[in-house]
């Protein structure tokens, strides 16, 4: 008995001492009878006595079954405790509770502590109430008997689980352990153990890894966190991924918006048993729904899957306590947790009035303790209170409504630095670009995003947003020597088959002027031929759509030797056949003819001397209308390279080295992200490798970037989503 007494003190704060006058009723709730029921594992008599006593109290209360009379009755601590004990036995099942009590003596101590604590019982039972109004009115819900064992295991393992938020977390884990959530992509074959799930979220909360709204969650909401189908490792990775790759999704707890990065429809990537591959591989609405639920739960946001006609999406709790759907249609088209969307909203709104909600549920529990003939008035009154408009004072104060997470305001450093070599390495912070820009295809800001890294105080990073035709950032560097440099970048990606195109300016001739046969809508200032010779990745020469044949001529100012050419059509990819010529006297002579310019076209040819060179487009595809971002000639190419990016699953990783040829002196180097899915960059390094020329190698020999054909298709827009 001493052990039972000691354990029961763990719930002492809410324990109720039964002290009603003995002469009113033949039997009254008392500690001795409760201990007897617990120690013998026989609750039949105790349950019957609770039922009779509650019926007598309801009859004896002034006002009977009126609203005021019931409110008075339900303010009596002894009534609330007895009602909680009876409902606890009813919802768990008396047989299940008896089996638990008989299993071992320590179970009896735990059970006694729970049943003597009216506040704990009430918190548990309110948390177990279904969301739907019909289910609440039916009042036939139950609590899985096995959850007592889970709760006891957590109770024994962690004293912190006996009060406060961690008590709620323990209850939620017991009722909805891992694996009881929405089945879908990414889930493991075997769910986590309940104790491990509790410990995971407790540790994450203590480490401040979860969102602030987690502190305000009630048991019923926490159940939609603990039930996550993910492994604890995936949950931890999900938080680290967002914090590293794009911490702007943390704004207003908006991580549900990461679903925009789950993109493939017919992915060759197996989701396996990992949410990492759900993000990287994507799929149609099913995997996107699974991802949405997972990433919300990873940060402690309650969420569940939603079914809609021929579609699936997510419902999640916003910071103000109101639930919303994302990436789908309205509540009217939704089904979730066995409810229609409108039924769920009705139930969720009822929960936003906690005092009224508790009153109504206590009235229903009390009705079950009365003879059938006496139940109807109480149940009807409960319905009326539920339907009545809430009093203004009962409405909880709401926090500012969250908005969709957006990247930080794009900005350029006020005084962009020029990076020089230190110990043979040029190291550049990605956030210190001197210029940036981009071309929108599906909307968005036309440039890179400059974001604060997480946690605060760890610097900044840039983000090449998804679905942009081309996005770029430029850096000023001092190249110590002409030659080959190894280039590596510190990047974060969440999809496979990503890449960055890198190009320098400063090695090829600067043209004096340019002329063209036509300009798009005669917009010479913005889209004239001069825009294709300015060494600026953000400007271009353009011709009207429907035109296939057009000419761009550049004047070098004087006759110079030329043996190589670079052309950048970027992602437009409208030219299917073209030629380049040089002027010898009054005659134009061919240098070469080719097809498909696209991104980073280069061509070497036998050296000639020329002042004037022209590019003529001969045929086009689809809409036509050539668009040329850069056209240049010389004897030495500007440096260029393609970085095949690994899928880093959102964590920082250094890329494999690629080679790029740079010319001594002040140069600019640009990073382009054509048609990417969202690439973040923290920094890059250039390390001198050696002289560019090997014996017998022509000075104009190009350094070929390794651009896979699949990447080049994306880069030029042929295979863009």
Choose the CATH number for 146-343 among 2.10.25, 1.20.120, 3.10.620, 1.10.287: 3.10.620
Domain positions in the chain: 1-128+353-387, 146-343, 410-505+639-721, 508-635
pLDDT over threshold 90, residue 433: yes
Q: What DSSP string describes 379-411?
A: HHHHHHHHHSPPPGGGSPPPPPPP----PPPP-
Per the prediction, the chain carries an average pLDDT of 88
Structural class in CATH, domain 508-635: mainly beta
CATH superfamily for domain 410-505+639-721: Galactose-binding domain-like (2.60.120.260)
pTM of the model: 0.86
Q: Lowest-confidence range among 181-190, 357-366, 700-709?
A: 700-709
pLDDT over threshold 70, residue 637: yes
Kindly report, residue by residue over 57-68, the tens digit of the pLDDT.
988 877 767 888
Kindly report, residue by residue over 33-66, the tens digit of the pLDDT.
999 999 999 999 999 999 999 999 988 877 767 8
Decide: residue 300, CB within 10 A, 0-12 exposed, 13-18 middle, 19+ buried: buried
pLDDT over threshold 70, residue 235: yes
Task: Please check whether residue 651 is in contact with residue 644, taking contact to mean a CB–CB distance below 8 angstroms.
Answer: no
Please give the pLDDT value at position 14: 34
Question: Per-residue confidence at 699, pLDDT binned at 50, 70, 90?
Answer: very low
Percent of the chain at pLDDT above 90?
73
Between the two ends of the chain, the Cα-to-Cα distance in Å is 70
The two domains 146-343 and 410-505+639-721 share their CATH topology (first three levels equal):
no
Kindly report, residue by residue over 58-98, the tens digit of the pLDDT.
888 777 678 888 999 999 999 999 999 999 999 999 999 99
Distance from chain centroid for Cα 76: 47
Mean pLDDT value of segment 480-485 = 94
Please give the pLDDT value at position 470: 83
């Amino acid at each position: 008995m001493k052990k039972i007494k000691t354990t029961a003190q763990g719930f002492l704060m809410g324990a109720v001492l039964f002290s009603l006058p003995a002469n009113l009723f033949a039997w009254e709730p008392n500690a001795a009878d409760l201990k007897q029921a617990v120690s013998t594992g026989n609750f039949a008599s105790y349950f019957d006595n609770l039922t009779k006593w509650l019926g007598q109290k309801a009859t004896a209360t002034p006002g009977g079954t009126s609203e005021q009379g019931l409110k008075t009755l339900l303010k009596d601590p002894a009534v609330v405790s007895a009602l909680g004990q009876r409902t606890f036995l009813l919802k768990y099942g008396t047989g299940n509770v008896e089996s638990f009590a008989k299993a071992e003596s320590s179970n009896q101590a735990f059970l006694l502590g729970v049943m003597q604590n009216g506040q704990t019982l009430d918190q548990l039972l309110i948390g177990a109430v279904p969301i739907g109004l019909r289910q609440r009115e039916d009042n036939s819900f139950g609590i899985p008997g096995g959850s007592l064992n889970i709760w006891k295991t957590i109770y024994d393992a962690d004293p912190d689980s006996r009060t406060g938020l961690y008590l709620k977390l323990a209850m939620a884990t017991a009722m909805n352990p891992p694996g009881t959530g929405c089945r879908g992509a990414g889930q493991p074959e075997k769910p986590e153990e309940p104790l491990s799930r509790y410990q995971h979220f407790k540790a994450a909360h203590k480490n401040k890894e979860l969102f602030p709204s987690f502190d305000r969650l009630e048991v019923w909401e926490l159940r939609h966190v603990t039930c996550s189908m993910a492994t604890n490792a995936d949950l931890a990775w999900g938080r680290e991924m967002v914090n590293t790759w794009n911490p702007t999704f943390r704004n207003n707890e908006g991580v549900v918006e990461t679903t925009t990065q789950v993109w493939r429809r017919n992915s060759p990537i197996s989701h396996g048993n990992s949410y990492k591959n759900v993000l990287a591989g994507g799929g149609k609405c099913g995997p996107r729904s699974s991802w949405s639920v997972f990433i919300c739960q990873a940060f402690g946001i309650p969420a569940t899957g939603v079914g809609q006609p021929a579609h699936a999406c997510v419902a999640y709790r916003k910071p103000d306590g109101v639930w919303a759907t994302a990436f789908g249609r309205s509540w009217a088209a939704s089904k979730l947790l066995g409810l229609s969307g409108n039924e769920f909203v009705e139930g969720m709104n009822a929960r936003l009035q906690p005092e009224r909600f508790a009153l109504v549920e206590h009235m229903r529990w009390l009705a079950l303790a009365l003879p059938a003939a006496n139940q109807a008035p109480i149940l009807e009154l409960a319905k009326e209170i539920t339907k009545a408009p809430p009093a203004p004072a009962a409405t909880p104060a709401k926090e500012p409504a969250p908005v969709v997470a957006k990247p930080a305001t794009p900005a350029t450093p006020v005084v962009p630095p020029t990076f020089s070599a230190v110990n043979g390495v040029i190291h550049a912070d990605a956030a210190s670009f001197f210029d940036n820009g981009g071309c929108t295809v599906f909307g968005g800001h036309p440039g890179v995003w400059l974001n604060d890294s997480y946690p605060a105080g760890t610097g900044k990073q840039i983000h090449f947003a998804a679905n942009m035709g081309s996005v770029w950032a430029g850096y000023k560097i001092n190249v110590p020597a002409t030659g080959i440099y190894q280039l590596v970048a510190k990047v974060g990606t969440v999809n496979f088959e990503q890449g960055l195109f890198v190009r320098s300016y400063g090695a090829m001739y600067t043209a004096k002027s340019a002329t063209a046969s036509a300009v798009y809508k005669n917009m010479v200032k913005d889209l004239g031929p001069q825009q294709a010779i300015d060494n600026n990745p953000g400007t271009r020469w353009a011709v009207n759509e429907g035109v296939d044949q057009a000419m761009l001529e550049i004047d070098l100012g004087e006759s110079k030797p030329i043996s190589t050419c670079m052309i950048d059509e970027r992602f437009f990819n409208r030219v299917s056949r073209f030629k380049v010529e040089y002027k010898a006297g009054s005659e134009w002579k061919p240098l070469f003819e080719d097809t498909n310019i696209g991104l980073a076209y280069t061509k070497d040819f036998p050296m000639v001397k020329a002042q004037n060179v022209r590019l003529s487009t001969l045929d086009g595809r689809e809409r036509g209308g050539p668009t040329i971002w850069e056209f240049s000639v010389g004897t030495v190419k500007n440096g260029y390279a393609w970085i095949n990016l690994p899928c880093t699953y959102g964590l920082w990783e250094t890329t494999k080295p690629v080679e790029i040829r740079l010319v001594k002196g002040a140069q600019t180097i640009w990073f382009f992200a054509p048609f990417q899915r969202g690439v973040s960059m923290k920094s890059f390094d250039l390390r001198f490798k050696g002289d560019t020329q090997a014996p017998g190698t022509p000075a104009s020999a190009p350094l070929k970037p390794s651009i896979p054909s699949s990447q080049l298709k994306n880069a030029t827009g042929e295979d863009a989503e």
